[in-house]
């Protein structure tokens, strides 16, 4: 390989690394700011039952996890949330917002049943229109997690999976 070919290959590799790193930085900055008002929403869960965030917050702070059935990291994180959920039952509520098309509700429901999930799985659907909740929360990748305090303010936002220790730190922020 000539020196020119090596330099060209090195430049292309460096450019690809920069492109790969740029979205990760952008994702960190894209979450709703801590202290801002969380967008209220009405939706339905996979059982067809109505859900309103502001009503749920009357029962306490909420952890919202945005996920997709096609996201391997999400499928790995959800069992951890299910396992850790009982520890925090007196501190926060857990809700997931599935970002797949509402027509996949049966698939999502089957997945939840197969995995033994007990947290409420909401669909990304508002008044018959899909993909409004993730837009309101500026979700650009999955999994995404928000902690919403009882007063409706964002206490924490994060892209990527959390381990049990990180989840404990998030729950400690709940008010």
CATH class for the region spanning 31-172: alpha beta
41 closest CA partner among 116, 142, 119, 148: 148
Query: What CA–CA distances, in Å, run from 161 to 5, 19, 68, 150?
Result: 39, 22, 13, 23
**pLDDT tens-digit profile of 107-140?**
888 999 999 999 999 988 666 666 688 889 999 9
- Decide if pLDDT at 8 tops 50: no
Residue with more model confidence, 102 or 60: 60
- Decide if pLDDT at 149 tops 80: yes
**pLDDT tens-digit profile of 30-46?**
578 999 999 999 998 98
User: Whole-model pTM?
Assistant: 0.79
User: Domain locations in the chain?
Assistant: 31-172
């Amino acid at each position: 390989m000539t020196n020119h070919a090596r330099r060209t290959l090195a430049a292309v590799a460096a450019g690809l690394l920069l492109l790969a790193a740029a979205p990760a930085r952008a994702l960190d900055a894209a979450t709703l700011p801590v202290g801002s008002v969380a967008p209220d929403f009405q939706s339905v869960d996979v059982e067809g039952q109505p859900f309103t965030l502001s009503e749920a917050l009357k029962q306490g702070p909420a952890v919202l996890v945005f996920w997709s059935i096609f996201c391997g990291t999400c499928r790995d994180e959800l069992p951890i949330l299910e396992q850790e959920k009982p520890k925090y039952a007196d501190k926060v509520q857990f809700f997931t917002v599935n970002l797949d098309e509402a027509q996949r509700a049966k698939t999502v429901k089957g997945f939840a049943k197969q995995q033994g999930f007990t947290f409420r799985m909401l669909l990304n659907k508002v008044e018959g229109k899909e993909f409004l909740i993730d837009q309101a929360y500026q979700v650009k990748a999955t999994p995404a997690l928000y902690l919403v305090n009882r007063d409706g303010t964002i206490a924490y936002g994060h892209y990527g999976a959390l381990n049990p220790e990180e989840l404990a730190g998030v729950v400690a922020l709940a008010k």
